[in-house]
Structure formats: structure tokens, C-alpha cells
């Protein structure tokens, strides 16, 4: 996304100084790491006017301008987006012909010979390079690229969002259990627990480096950059520090690391010894090349591995070398130079693919994940727990609620018996939920001439309600949601007015459930059947 912003900036030719901020974000936000040498791109997607075309390293047009978005080629195919009022994604070969027709609302690049695609109202589907469907994850909310045979996917249920992994056959090999994940590299993957701490798992899901880091990057060459507080260091495969956290930022660069220290960038070796003093306002990795792009003052140039300028600072922007050429910006136009700093392709392009930039910086892709377009009724029903909502139940004391939901008494109102504990929490792309309990949370006690309200942890929950709000693809599908919730009410009998389809009440021998449907908002109100004095009203306003 950051690279899209950068490219939008280049294309719209806004204030150049904004790029300084964006490049810092790219450096900091890069969750991966560069390999010792980034694969060379032989067909480069550049933009003249509003359309992307592909050129070779001599500047010859190989594929004519025709795409609204384009990526570099991976596994022999490039992801491209059509023009028009309803642009769609497809894949072309190096002749510019569609190998897989543009029929997708969302798509990723290829990795491990598979790509994820999403059709209209469809779930994430993995296809091979012939466009054949290999996997469909009907209940997944999001999926990421395959790396080392495994792809991360997320699901949303009553516990929130959790991530797991599937293999290339679609088999779930690591159950969803993590708050967030990276990608597999060197047989390991960074994962985050519910407390916001990161560790690493192997390809069976076993924790091999305990949760202890505030941020992590992928393993490269048996090492990984990790963060403790606001400082970066490096660990080995056993999780032991080989460079103690001491730098503001670190990015792998072969066996060395680009470092940030005191708002300046330089390089250190694998032992943490500084080999190029931090002196540059910004720097990109060498990525196996002899030259690296750095920002000195207000211009970019290229240094050698001793930190000496070989190509003097003179460019508005400069990026890592891609084989024999490097992308640079002069004024407001993009061109390519050779290793002597001479133009081999004069500045003439209005833009370059964000995916190309991401690739030459750190061998990443711009399009690495998709989200479902499927209106997922199951995720909504699974989020609603009428017997043990949010891990609590009617009759539980508020002290249990504080512990279970990790909240404090300030979440409870002093002036009302209705308390919203979850507010508009996302279920999926098209639905959110709020959760409210009913309890007399505060008690008045004498305080001199007056009285004061004191929180009562022993007050019991008298009832609760969920409010589901539909958006996007959910508009107009409230009846489908209500029917699905009704289908989950095993053992309940409908009571009361059987003719009112917008206000339906069900009961079993323990509790009463009232479902009120008002346009794209659905309220589900629950009270104990034994306590007829409890009056909980629906708030479908």
C-alpha cells in the first residue's frame, strides 16, 4: 500500500519532499528481507500517460501500453489490470497475451506456482499458471502468498481474527490460532500472540523461538532482524542474539545489514560492527550489487562497499540496480542509468509499477494477499454466541467480565444498566458487531450529606444483546442473516406474535431470545427465562 502511495505521488507529480517520508515508511514497514541478490527483471512495467507498458533494459517497448496496473513477471506470468469502468485482473505471458483471462476482482502475483484470485461474490481461490482451480477457502477472510509450500489464511469467529496455514492441496496444516503472521522463510515463520508479542514457528506450527519480540522480520541466511522496544537487533536460528538490539532500524543486505542510527543510515556486518558509518539521510540495500543508492542532502547517488560515491548525488530519486540498470528520477520523470551513471534510457516515463519498486528494494511483491468477496453468513453466525457470549453467561458476576474481557470498571456506565463492552467490532468485510450486557454495575452508598456511586464487582449479568450492522455486500441481506441465526437456535421454540417477521422471539427452558430486524441492523436480545422481571429492549434504531 505504501508503494502505491509512492507511485500515485510520482504519477500525480506532487511535492517531492513527501517522498522522503514515504521512503522511511517503506524501510521501516518492510517485514521481509532482501536476499543476497534480487532476481533481475527483464521486462519492466513503466507508465507513460495513464497506461502501463513493458520495456526491456534498452528501453525498447516489448508490450504496448494498455494496462491500468501491472507487475513484474513471476513464474512466467505477470499480473495486470484492465482499463474501463469495471477493471479486472488477469495474467499475461511475455508476448503480452492473456494466459489467464482478466476475470478477477482481486488477485495476487504467483508464488510457488500458485496465485490467489477472487471473483465476484467469491471466496479466495488458488489457481495454477493455466488458470485451473486448485484450492478454494470458503470460510477464509484473507489469504497470503504461498511461501515454502504454506500460505497463511485468516478466519473470524467469536474470538476475533486468527491466522493459520494451508498447504498446496488446501489442507489446513496449522490451525488458526495466531493474531498475525509473517511468511515462511528458512523453514520458520514469525507469528504474533494475543498479547502482541512475536515468536517463530516451524512448518508444523510448533513454537521454536518463544514469544518475546515486539516486531520481527523473516529469517534470511539463518538470521532474522527482531525488535525489543524501539531497538533492532539480530538473532540466530536458536533465537539467541548475535547482534544486541541497538539500532533504530535494520534491513538484511546479504550477510550485512543496512542500519539506521541517530536518523542516519549506514551498514554493519553480521557481528554488528559498523562497516559504513551512518551518514546518509536514506539508503537502499546493495542486494548483491557493487553499488547502493543513498540519499545525501537532497539528492540521491550511488556508493561502493567502502561507502565512497561512485555516482555523485544528482537525482531526485534513485533505486537499487536491476541487473545493468538502475531506475532514477530526474526532475519529475523516470529513466534508467548504467553503472557509470550515464543514461541508457532517458528520463521520459511518468510512473513505474509499485511492484517493480518493491521487488528491487527487497524482493517483495506489491500484491501478496486478497480478501474474500464472499458474503460469509457462517462467520456472522459463528461470531454470535448465545449460550456463553464473549466467554461469560447470564448470572455471572461482573468480576468475571473484567477478567474475561480484560477491561476495567470504567467500561461500565454509572447512570445506566446497559453497558456496551464491544463496539462495532469487524466480523468480516460486510458486518460488524456490538455487544452489550445488562447489569446494575454501580451501587449508591452514603457519603456524608450525599451519596456516591461505587462499582459492585459482585453485581450479576441480567441479560445481554448483540447488534449486527451490515455494510457493503451485506446491504439488503438482513433476512438471510436472521434466517441463518434462527437455524442455529437448536432446541428453541418460537413464541409470541408469529406474524411479525421483523420481531421474532424464541425460548427454551433457560432463556429467551428476541431477534429484531431493522433494515441493515439486527439486534439479538437475550434474557433469562426464570427472571420475568428483566426487561431488555432492542435498540434497532
pLDDT greater than 60 at residue 4: no
Strand partners, 497: none
User: CA-CA distance, 198 to 180, in Å (whole number)?
Assistant: 9
For residues 457 and 395, is the Cβ–Cβ distance under 8 A? no
User: CA-CA distance, 312 to 78, in Å (whole number)?
Assistant: 35
Q: List phi, psi (to 5°) of 469.
A: -115, 125
With vertex at residue 338, the alpha carbon angle to CA 287 and CA 255, rounded to the nearest 5 degrees, is: 15
Confidence (pLDDT) at 282: 96
Dihedral angle over CA of 125, 126, 130, 132, nearest 10? -50
Helix (H) or strand (E) holding 497: none
User: CA-CA distance, 183 to 204, in Å (whole number)?
Assistant: 14
pLDDT greater than 80 at residue 539: no
With vertex at residue 32, the alpha carbon angle to CA 28 and CA 33, rounded to the nearest 5 degrees, is: 95
User: CA-CA distance, 242 to 270, in Å (whole number)?
Assistant: 8
For residues 409 and 424, is the Cβ–Cβ distance under 8 A? no
Q: Checking phi first, is residue 358 left (phi over 0); if not, alpha (psi -120 to 50) or beta?
A: alpha
Residue 5 pLDDT grade (very low, low, confident, very high; cuts 50, 70, 90): very low
Confidence (pLDDT) at 295: 97
Confidence (pLDDT) at 435: 93
The three grid cell numbers given for residue 485, joined into one nine-digit string: 441465526
Give the pLDDT confidence of 377-413 residue by residue, as tens digits: 888 999 998 888 888 889 999 999 998 888 899 999 9
> Long-range contacts for 199-208 (Cβ within 8 Å, ≥24 apart)?
200/224, 200/239, 201/174, 203/148, 203/149, 203/150, 203/173, 203/174, 204/173, 204/174, 205/164, 205/165, 205/173, 205/174, 205/175, 205/177, 208/239
pTM: 0.76
Confidence (pLDDT) at 454: 93
Three-state secondary structure call for residue 353: coil
Helix (H) or strand (E) holding 486: helix 478-487
For residues 222 and 211, is the Cβ–Cβ distance under 8 A? no
Give the pLDDT confidence of 461-470 residue by residue, as tens digits: 999 999 999 9
User: CA-CA distance, 402 to 8, in Å (whole number)?
Assistant: 46
Selected residue with higher pLDDT from 133 and 475: 133
Mean predicted lDDT score pLDDT of the chain: 89
Give the pLDDT confidence of 413-431 residue by residue, as tens digits: 999 999 999 999 988 878 9
Percentage of the chain exceeding pLDDT 70: 91
Three-state secondary structure call for residue 36: coil
For residues 421 and 408, is the Cβ–Cβ distance under 8 A? no
User: CA-CA distance, 312 to 236, in Å (whole number)?
Assistant: 37
Confidence (pLDDT) at 10: 45
For residues 496 and 487, is the Cβ–Cβ distance under 8 A? no
pLDDT greater than 80 at residue 34: no
Q: Would you say how long the chain is, in residues?
A: 541
Confidence (pLDDT) at 531: 54
The three grid cell numbers given for residue 464, joined into one nine-digit string: 445481554
Outline which parts of the chain fall under CATH 2.140.10.
2-371
Give the pLDDT confidence of 485-522 residue by residue, as tens digits: 998 898 899 988 888 888 899 999 889 999 999 888 99
Range 2-371 has CATH code 1.20.950: no
pLDDT greater than 70 at residue 23: no
Give the pLDDT confidence of 73-116 residue by residue, as tens digits: 999 999 999 998 999 999 999 999 999 999 999 999 999 999 99
Selected residue with higher pLDDT from 477 and 91: 91
User: CA-CA distance, 355 to 71, in Å (whole number)?
Assistant: 5
3-class SS letters over 187-221: CEEEEECCCCCEEEECCCCCEEEEEEECEECCCEC
Output the DSSP codes for 62-108. EEEEEESEE---BTTBEEEE--SSS--EEEE-TTS-EEEEEEESEE-
User: CA-CA distance, 288 to 292, in Å (whole number)?
Assistant: 9
Q: How many other CB atoms are found less than 10 A from the CB of residue 284?
A: 29
Confidence (pLDDT) at 533: 43
User: CA-CA distance, 307 to 297, in Å (whole number)?
Assistant: 15
Give which of 143, 159, 160 is closest to 151, Cα–Cα.
143
Q: What is the DSSP letter of 392?
A: -
Cα–Cα distances in angstroms (integers) from residue 156 to residues 23, 164, 265, 375, 429, in the given order: 33, 11, 40, 13, 10
Residue 530 pLDDT grade (very low, low, confident, very high; cuts 50, 70, 90): low
Give which of 506, 469, 466, 473 is closest to 487, Cα–Cα.
506
Three-state secondary structure call for residue 18: helix
Amino acid at each position: 500500500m505504501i508503494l502505491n502511495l509512492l507511485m500515485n505521488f510520482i504519477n500525480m507529480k506532487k511535492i517531492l519532499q513527501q517522498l522522503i517520508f514515504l521512503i522511511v515508511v517503506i524501510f521501516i514497514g518492510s517485514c521481509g528481507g532482501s536476499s543476497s541478490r534480487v532476481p533481475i527483471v527483464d521486462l519492466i512495467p513503466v507508465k507513460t500517460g495513464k497506461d502501463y507498458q513493458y520495456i526491456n533494459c534498452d528501453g525498447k517497448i516489448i508490450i504496448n501500453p494498455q494496462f491500468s496496473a501491472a507487475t513484474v513477471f513471476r513464474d512466467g506470468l505477470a499480473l495486470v489490470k484492465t482499463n474501463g469502468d469495471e477493471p479486472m485482473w488477469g495474467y499475461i505471458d511475455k508476448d503480452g497475451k492473456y494466459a489467464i483471462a482478466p476475470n478477477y476482482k482481486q488477485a495476487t502475483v504467483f508464488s510457488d506456482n500458485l496465485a490467489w484470485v477472487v471473483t465476484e461474490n467469491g471466496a479466495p481461490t488458488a489457481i495454477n499458471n493455466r488458470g485451473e482451480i486448485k484450492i478454494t477457502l470458503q470460510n477464509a477472510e484473507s489469504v497470503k502468498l504461498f511461501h515454502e509450500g504454506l500460505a497463511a489464511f485468516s478466519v473470524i469467529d467469536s474470538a476475533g481474527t486468527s491466522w493459520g496455514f494451508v498447504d498446496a492441496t488446501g489442507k489446513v496444516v496449522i490451525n488458526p490460532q495466531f493474531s498475525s503472521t509473517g511468511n515462511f522463510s528458512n523453514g520458520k515463520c514469525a507469528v504474533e500472540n494475543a498479547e502482541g508479542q512475536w515468536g517463530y514457528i516451524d512448518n508444523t506450527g510448533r513454537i521454536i523461538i518463544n514469544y518475546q519480540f515486539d516486531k520481527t522480520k523473516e529469517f534470511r541466511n539463518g538470521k532474522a532482524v527482531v525488535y525489543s522496544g524501539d531497538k533492532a537487533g539480530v538473532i540466530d536460528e536458536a533465537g539467541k542474539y548475535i547482534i544486541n538490539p541497538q539500532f533504530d532500524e535494520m534491513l538484511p543486505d546479504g550477510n550485512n545489514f543496512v542500519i539506521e542510527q541517530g536518523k542516519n543510515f549506514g551498514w554493519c556486518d553480521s557481528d554488528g560492527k559498523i562497516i559504513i558509518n551512518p551518514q546518509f539521510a536514506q539508503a537502499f540495500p546493495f542486494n548483491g550489487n557493487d553499488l547502493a543508492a543513498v540519499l545525501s542532502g537532497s539528492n540521491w547517488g550511488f556508493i561502493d562497499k567502502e561507502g565512497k560515491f561512485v555516482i555523485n548525488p544528482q537525482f531526485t530519486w534513485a533505486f537499487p540496480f536491476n541487473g545493468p540498470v538502475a531506475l532514477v528520477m530526474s526532475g519529475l520523470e523516470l529513466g534508467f542509468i548504467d553503472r557509470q551513471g550515464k543514461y541508457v534510457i532517458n528520463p521520459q516515463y511518468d510512473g513505474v509499477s509499485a511492484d517493480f519498486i518493491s521487488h528491487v528494494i527487497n524482493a517483495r511483491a506489491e500484491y501478496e494477499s486478497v480478501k474474500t468477496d464472499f458474503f460469509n453468513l457462517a462467520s456472522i453466525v459463528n461470531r454470535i454466541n448465545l449460550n456463553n457470549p464473549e466467554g461469560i453467561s447470564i448470572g455471572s458476576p461482573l468480576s468475571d467480565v473484567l477478567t474475561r474481557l480484560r477491561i476495567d470498571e470504567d467500561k461500565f456506565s454509572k447512570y445506566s444498566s446497559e453497558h456496551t463492552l464491544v463496539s462495532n467490532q469487524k466480523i468480516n468485510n460486510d458486518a460488524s458487531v456490538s455487544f452489550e450486557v445488562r447489569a446494575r454495575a454501580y451501587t449508591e452508598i452514603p457519603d456524608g450529606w450525599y451519596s456516591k456511586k461505587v462499582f459492585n464487582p459482585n453485581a450479576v449479568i441480567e441479560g445481554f444483546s448483540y447488534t449486527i450492522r451490515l455494510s457493503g455486500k451485506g446491504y439488503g441481506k438482513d433476512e438471510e442473516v436472521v434466517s441463518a441465526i434462527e437455524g442455529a437456535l437448536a432446541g428453541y421454540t418460537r413464541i409470541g406474535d408469529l406474524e411479525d417477521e421483523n420481531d421474532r422471539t424464541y425460548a427454551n427452558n433457560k432463556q429467551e431470545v428476541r431477534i429484531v430486524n431493522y433494515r441493515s441492523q439486527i439486534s439479538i436480545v437475550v434474557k433469562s427465562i426464570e427472571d420475568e422481571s428483566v426487561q431488555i429492549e432492542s435498540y434497532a434504531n
